[in-house]
A and B are shown apart, each in its own frame.
Chain A
């Protein structure tokens, strides 16, 4: 569906995307994970044919964006980071008008829009001006809008950023449904749980480069451990307590407010900690996540 080799994007002296190789298979949910400024959005814009690549090659559905942008766009669904809904129009009109941008016949768009209202759970908001919708509803409408042309690939740039937990879960549920219908999803996120929930495969991006690639489970297995023991101490700098727990587990990571111990079994590790006479203020045992992978790969946490 998408194949990029040595893809680069620079703005003047600044390199946003620094030679990445990506391949997305049909029906796959593929994620770009990384902090702000990692080059995720720039990559998405290149795939969406609204930003020409500065170097490397990219083929989308076998076509080159440089010469066949309109044909590619006809088969893409784009869900941008800012909703960019048409504030002058109603919910239903937003779908209609967007469908007409694809040159689709009015009757086709109308029928499709009705279906999508259902899909986005916005039937009772049909004739509202979009300004009156909640953040979650706007996001669902933006996704519905992106599906108006029955796309083969849907590009979602940070689909749930800024939404409350409930709205996020509704959205994930809708995206699962799409995935089940065989639509290829390409998304960016800086949320670990989102990547774990939605992506079959993902790449971790940092400073325009890909630093790791694989399924969420494989990445955790490779770059983290099974469990993580979090320890908090009543000290200004947690680095001074790191030596006390050195050697327990595979690795110790020092954060501003806690220590992370990468271990196979958190409870056993905690016993070892207490056995050394070290008594943290609080402790927590949890499963390792992509957050830990990211920390391991870049030495920084994902959301600063």
Chain B
């Protein structure tokens, strides 16, 4: 059979992994961005929650607590808690987008059924949806960092790296969250998400150092993803760089990759039957 130019270009196109391979997931990002313009107030409100926490904790409670000892160095409580709030809000945003919003689109709005009737594949849907969560998170993290810096809670230029770090946290939680959402069949199941999120928020060395826990419990805390996120962001914001941060990065990256893979598999099983 004679190979047409069309076929040749098709073949060539499939060999380029980037950015052409990213065009379809981006279409879903574009869809979400357009939808967000109609709900801009919800988007804006996402910024305030961590900022309110920062001032309540950092300024209010910080005045009562005084300084916290981290590796033998005394730092203000606000400085200690700001990175944790930044990491937590990255988690919360990612989880909200990938559970509530995805559940609605998956079960009711049929957004993904529609997308899958086009050349979009389940992987494109997974990557597109998670990318959107990350993009939104990126805006929040940047804004939070700016507010924290103005409030005097940031002491190092390394803090700028906390922004991509938060994107990585977002990736880990959004992808696993979205995979988990594909198993949910009713709104009540979404309540379980809070059950997983809240203890992590409270106990991942967020509000006090890991050394507060007895050794056995420290292991448990260190196993949770938010701990890695908090410690990573804290290290960067305090300018306290060490090899341990790379472990955090690896942990979150693996979490994220497995999540995307699982999400794509699940969407395929649910919608392409």
- Chain B 68-117 residues near chain A, CB threshold 8 A: 109-111, 113-117
A-chain residues with CB within 8 Å of residue B113 when the two chains form the complex:
50, 80, 84
A-chain residues with CB within 8 Å of residue B119 when the two chains form the complex:
70-71, 73-74, 101-103
A-chain residues with CB within 8 Å of residue B10 when the two chains form the complex:
71
Question: Does A51 lie within 8 Å of B272, measured CB to CB?
Answer: yes
Question: Does B23 lie within 8 Å of A103, measured CB to CB?
Answer: yes
- Chain A 71-113 residues near chain B, CB threshold 8 A: 71, 73-74, 76, 78, 80, 82, 84, 86-89, 93, 96-98, 100-103
Min C-beta distance of A93 to chain B, whole Å? 5
Which one of A84, A100, A129, A149 has the highest number of Cβ atoms from chain B below 10 Å of its Cβ?
A100
- Bitwise, A54-84 to B at CB < 8 A (1) or not (0) is 0000000000000001110110101010101
Count how many pairs of residues, one from A and one from B, have CB atoms less than 8 Å apart in the complex.
74
A-chain residues with CB within 8 Å of residue B118 when the two chains form the complex:
73-74, 98, 101-102, 149
Whether A50 touches B272, Cβ cut-off 8 Å, given contacts A101-B119, A103-B23, is: yes
Q: Which residue of A lies closest to B23 (CB)?
A: A103
B-chain residues with CB within 8 Å of residue A73 when the two chains form the complex:
117-119
| B contact patch SS | helix
Which one of B27, B109, B115 has the highest number of Cβ atoms from chain A below 10 Å of its Cβ?
B27
Q: Which residue of B lies closest to A90 (CB)?
A: B38
- Bitwise, B109-152 to A at CB < 8 A (1) or not (0) is 11101111111110000000000000000000000000000000
* Cα A89 to Cα B37 with chains together (Å): 9
**Besides the known contacts A50-B116, A51-B273, A80-B114, 11 further A-B residue pairs in the complex with CB atoms under 8 A apart:** A11-B273, A50-B113, A51-B272, A73-B117, A84-B110, A86-B109, A89-B34, A97-B31, A101-B28, A101-B115, A101-B118
Residues of chain B touching chain A, judged by Cβ–Cβ distance below 8 Å, are 10, 23-24, 27-28, 30-31, 34-35, 38-39, 109-111, 113-121, 271-273
Residues of chain A touching chain B, judged by Cβ–Cβ distance below 8 Å, are 11, 48, 50-52, 69-71, 73-74, 76, 78, 80, 82, 84, 86-89, 93, 96-98, 100-103, 129, 149
